[in-house]
């Protein structure tokens, strides 16, 4: 059975739909050998570390761009303290979200730049969220200097934007929407991602892939994301599983 790494999920949000113990057990039965549970604010970053310690998974710490107004000396200090733990292997998710206007762009850019600085200072991976903002996020990275290891989660850009991201050294992760019927353009872009830069994720509990679309997502479904990516790229399922798992280990550092 191929083995997979769910490079981005939110187990703290899955608690509302199912028990985390069952979700992790189900993922492992499906061949998921590793997963990263991602914080989106100070409280969920703390919770993600608690989950990581209890269930032998990995965590990230940071503030989602929609929460960037909460980024201050207190929250940045707390995120920095969480990053001292070996189970917190990534900074974020951070980035820019111009789809919603709840947080001013300049505030988002400032918080994003600070997260980039944390990744550079700690040597840990950076997890980047973009929505209607890929070019702007790439501009921030180019201006500050990209960290050694970073990933665009739930990639949604075109081939030109992909080229810019890869040129900066990015990993690129695809979520369940790559399997959607209306995602032909996204699947076409996936074809241009080198295997050594490719990741897969669920973004649980969001974006459940076909054939589970419309239901709460869970880490076990990363298998179906991987199959959709394999079909899009022309690689075998085994090759995509092996490459994405190896890439996640290189990116996040777990052994």
DSSP category for residue 125: E
pLDDT of residue 102: 81
The per-residue pLDDT for range 12-61, each reduced to its tens digit, is 999 766 799 999 999 999 999 999 999 999 999 999 999 999 999 999 99
Helix (H, G, I), strand (E, B) or coil at 7: strand
Q: Judging by beta carbons within 10 Å of its beta carbon (0-12, 13-18, 19+), is residue 214 exposed, middle or buried?
A: exposed
- For residue 49, give every residue at least 6 positions away whose Cβ sits within 8 Å of its Cβ, in sequence order, or none: 59, 61, 82, 85, 87, 88
pLDDT of residue 254: 57
- For residue 102, give every residue at least 6 positions away whose Cβ sits within 8 Å of its Cβ, in sequence order, or none: 66
pLDDT of residue 255: 39
Helices (H), 30-131: 42-55, 73-82, 105-122
Q: Which residue numbers in the chain have pLDDT < 70?
A: 16-17, 254-255
Q: Is the pTM of this model over 0.95?
A: yes
Domains within the chain, CATH numbers bracketed:
4-151+167-176+192-222 (3.20.20.140)
SS (H, E, C) 140-177: HHHHHCCCCCEEECCCCCCHHHHHHHHHCCCEEEECHH
Interhelix angle 105-122/73-82, nearest 10 degrees: 30
């Amino acid at each position: 059975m191929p083995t997979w790494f769910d490079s981005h999920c939110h187990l703290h949000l899955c608690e509302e739909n199912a028990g985390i113990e069952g979700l992790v057990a189900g993922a492992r039965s499906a061949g998921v050998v590793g997963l990263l549970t991602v914080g989106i604010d100070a409280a969920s970053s703390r919770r993600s570390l608690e989950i990581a310690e209890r269930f032998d998974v990995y965590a990230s710490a940071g503030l989602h761009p929609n929460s960037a107004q909460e980024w201050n000396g207190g929250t940045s200090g707390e995120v920095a303290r969480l990053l001292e733990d070996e189970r917190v292997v990534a900074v974020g998710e951070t980035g820019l979200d111009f789809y919603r206007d709840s947080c001013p762009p300049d505030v988002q850019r400032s918080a994003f730049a600070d997260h980039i600085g944390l990744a550079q200072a700690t040597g840990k991976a950076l997890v980047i969220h973009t929505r209607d903002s890929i070019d702007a996020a790439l501009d921030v990275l180019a201006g500050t200097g990209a960290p050694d290891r970073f990933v665009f989660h739930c990639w949604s850009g075109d081939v030109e934007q992909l080229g810019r991201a890869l040129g900066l050294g990015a990993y690129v992760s695809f979520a369940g929407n790559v399997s959607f019927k209306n995602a032909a353009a996204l699947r076409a872009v996936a074809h241009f991602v080198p295997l050594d830069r490719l990741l897969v994720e669920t973004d649980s509990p969001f974006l459940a892939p076909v054939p589970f679309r419309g239901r709460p997502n869970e880490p076990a479904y990363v298998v179906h994301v991987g199959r959709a990516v394999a079909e899009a790229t022309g690689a075998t399922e085994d090759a995509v599983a092996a490459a994405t798992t190896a890439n996640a280990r290189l990116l996040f550092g777990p052994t």
